Amino acid sequence: MEKGHNIGNSNGRGGPPSILVVDDSIEALQILRHTLERVGYYVWTATSGEEALRKIAGRGLPHLAIVDMYMPPGMNGFELCERLNQFSDLPVIMLTAVDETNTVVRAIQQFAEDYVLKPFSPSELVARIRRVLDRVGEFPYEASCPVQVDPRLSIDFPARKLIKEGVTSSLTPTEARLLYILMRSSGETVETDFLLRRMWPREITFEDRLHVYVHRLRSKLKEVGGKHQYVILERGVGYRFQPRPEAAY
């Protein structure tokens, strides 16, 4: 499962991918904004991990985040990524001035899709962003909080809340992450192997573990819209998030 992307004319579904840039250097933020906006991305910025989380809680999740690895004295890039992983599978590119093999390896193994060293080449950074989005796919819903799936269902990822017909249910970090991955490929089947790698990238795990969390997630979704099932099993292949068709309303 791989999905490409097109840069459009406005933010949201059908528009350009939105990029959140987190760096404690105002100069770096200005350079990154100029670099990314010049090629058509929608860019918003934060000077700390704490500010990034506040903006996500208000605006919703971007398509991708570029995160400075070290941002003293507050939350560093690793800590921010840990928080993001508690409610999403947001792809992250780490930005760092530290060329330390162990640090870079830790970033790639635990959190990041890629990394870029400062000072960076603008064309290289853009190429890396495109490669990441091509590989993991773009989140196809409007960047909002909560995300409106259809008139009966919305998801508040930062708060890990599922709102079904006005009734709110809590999602565990694993359930929220799984739902985000499935919704990122809404309408398409996500292969089991891909889900296992995205859900538990540092562990050797098996389908039975995934099935448990899918079952729990489906049980929280099953009453939405009566008989409609949002998470569909494709036997021998994987799972598909299937929103209700507009004709159903």
Q: Looking at the structure, give the CATH architecture of the domain made up of residues 147-248.
A: Orthogonal Bundle (1.10)
Tokens coding 146: 């909560």
Nearest to 65 by CA among 74, 73, 55: 55
Residue 93 confidence class, pLDDT cut points 50, 70, 90:
very high
**More reliable by pLDDT, 177 or 245:** 177
Q: Which pLDDT score is estimated for 6? A: 39
Task: Give the strands of the sheet with 189-191, arranged side by side.
Answer: 189-191, 238-241, 231-234
Q: How far, in Å, CA of 200 to CA of 196, rounded?
A: 6
Residue 248 confidence class, pLDDT cut points 50, 70, 90:
low
Query: Does 102 have pLDDT greater than 90?
Result: no
Phi first, then psi, for residue 104 (nearest 5°) are -65, -45
Question: Per-residue pLDDT tens for 70-91?
Answer: 887 888 888 999 999 999 999 9
Query: Does 151 have pLDDT greater than 50?
Result: yes
Number of residues that this document lists for the chain: 249
Domain(s) labelled CATH 1.10.10.10 in the chain stretch across 147-248
Fold of 18-136: Rossmann fold (3.40.50)
Q: How far, in Å, CA of 241 to CA of 49, rounded?
A: 30
Four-point Cα dihedral 197, 199, 205, 206, nearest 10 = -90
**Which residues in the chain belong to E strands, given as ranges?**
18-22, 42-46, 64-68, 92-96, 114-117, 147-150, 153-156, 161-164, 167-170, 189-191, 231-234, 238-241
Question: Per-residue pLDDT tens for 160-194?
Answer: 999 988 889 999 999 999 999 999 999 999 999 99
Domain(s) labelled CATH 3.40.50.2300 in the chain stretch across 18-136
